[in-house]
Amino acid sequence: MKNFNYNIPTKVLFGKGKVKEVGKEAKKYGDKVLLVYGKGSVKKSGLFDIVVNSLKDAGIYIYELPNIDPNPRIDSVYQGAELCRKVGINLIIAMGGGSVIDCSKAIAAQANYCGDVWQDLYVEQKLDTLTSALPIASILTLAATGSEMNGNSVISNMHTNQKLSIGHDILRPVFSILDPEYTFTVNKYHTAAGIVDILSHLFEQYFTPDHEGYLQNRMMEAMMKTVIEYGPIAYNELDNYEARANLMWTSSLALNGMVSYGKVETDWATHGMEHELSAFYDITHGVGLGILTPYWMKYVLSEDNVHRFVEYGRNVWKIHGHDNMEIANKAIDKTREFFNSLNIPQTLREVGIDDSKLEKMAEQATIFKYLAKVYIKP
């Protein structure tokens, strides 16, 4: 196992009713909070009012930045950072899914930064220049990205068709509130996309050429089995608490660093390709991953790595047999069938992507291939 420094400092408040504790937690950081949220789901679900009341009860002044887009834009980052500086925000609270949390992290970075975070951090990856950031917290409403416990932030610049990521420990949320009841309102489409995203994060860290990381690989198999067990339940019964709770906790654990610490290398090729699809066509992240993943698996499968696909087939899908390649191929087919059961499209054409920009996307994915390595650097 490789050396590593374990660093997962986010305090997690998990379960029913935990949202009401936000005021008490937030007060530890000061009395000016910026609430960042998306296009309205938090108001429809009633979460917004509960959070505002709890913050007001704690004597906190609230400022708001609504309307964050899925695939959050750099323009929102500049807008939020300016507001933070102007009024002297002490804590940013992101209420939503990965997009809102990622945007809040970028705002937290830009608020204290002398230059332009887009150019310096996202494009040029000068991560050492980020030495301070405002504290951010999250109230998660969609189980998918793991952003609630990690230091990653993925931002899109639609002017340049770029979707780029950074990973920095300084951006890990100081606390995150995970109440599965507030994911009941996530529709089937985004529930499915979230399920695929969680699995994909595990695949990216599991399908690696190493023969080490036995413990990490077994932990990941347990998480994959959890998603395969509870994903379809949540998809078919949107308000099933146990299913939503299992997905939510798995999403956090799958990408907070725990399962990759000590592993020699992680992959992130599928994410690299998907980010280009989103950058050019603004498609839903999990849907893009669902289309690409089975093709990627078939493409990379070889005698050198078949052992890992066999472990996946045997331990996750309970596939028996003696022929390694046959087990591996059956496991890939099972993966595709699972995505099909969640109505994930199978081809790029189905989501409106033809081959006109493939070369450009490939070029960008390759130029920025180092970005893949920034996810949870051990």
Among the listed ranges 131-139, 174-182, 193-201, 214-222, the one in contact with Zn ion (CB under 5 A) is 193-201
190 lies in the site for ligand NZQ, by CB under 6 A: yes
Residue 25 or 197: the one with the smaller Cβ distance to Zn ion is 197
Residue 193 or 253: the one with the smaller Cβ distance to ligand NZQ is 193
Residue 153 or 205: the one with the smaller Cβ distance to ligand NZQ is 153
Query: Which one of residues 183, 191, 216, 270 is an interface residue with ligand NZQ (CB under 6 A)?
Result: 183
Nearest approach in angstroms of CB 115 to Zn ion is: 28
Nearest approach in angstroms of CB 144 to Zn ion is: 7
251 lies in the site for ligand NZQ, by CB under 6 A: no
* Number of chain positions touching Zn ion (CB under 5 A): 1
Residue 23 or 96: the one with the smaller Cβ distance to ligand NZQ is 96
Contact of residue 73 among Zn ion, ligand NZQ, none (CB under 5-8 Å per partner type): none
Nearest approach in angstroms of CB 340 to Zn ion is: 20
276 lies in the site for Zn ion, by CB under 5 A: no
186 lies in the site for ligand NZQ, by CB under 6 A: yes
Cβ neighbourhood burial of 238 (10 Å; 0-12, 13-18, 19+): middle
Look at the chain and count its residues. 378
Query: Which one of residues 23, 97, 257, 294 is an interface residue with ligand NZQ (CB under 6 A)?
Result: 97
Nearest approach in angstroms of CB 288 to Zn ion is: 9
Query: Which one of residues 25, 120, 179, 197 is an interface residue with Zn ion (CB under 5 A)?
Result: 197
Residue 35 or 273: the one with the smaller Cβ distance to Zn ion is 273
Residue 231 or 313: the one with the smaller Cβ distance to ligand NZQ is 231
Residue nearest to ligand NZQ (CB): 38
Residue window 301-330: x/- pattern of binding to ligand NZQ, with contact defined by CB under 6 A = ------------------------------
Nearest approach in angstroms of CB 5 to ligand NZQ is: 19
266 lies in the site for ligand NZQ, by CB under 6 A: no
User: CB under 8 Å to 32, separation ≥6 — which residues?
Assistant: 60, 61, 63, 87, 88, 89, 90, 91
Edge-to-edge strands of the sheet including 61-65? 11-14, 175-178, 136-140, 91-96, 32-37, 61-65
Where do contacts with Zn ion occur on this chain (CB under 5 A)? Answer: 197
Q: Which residues bind ligand NZQ (CB under 6 A)?
A: 38-42, 45, 70-71, 96-100, 102, 141-142, 144-147, 150, 152-154, 182-183, 185-186, 190, 193-194, 197, 255, 271, 285-286
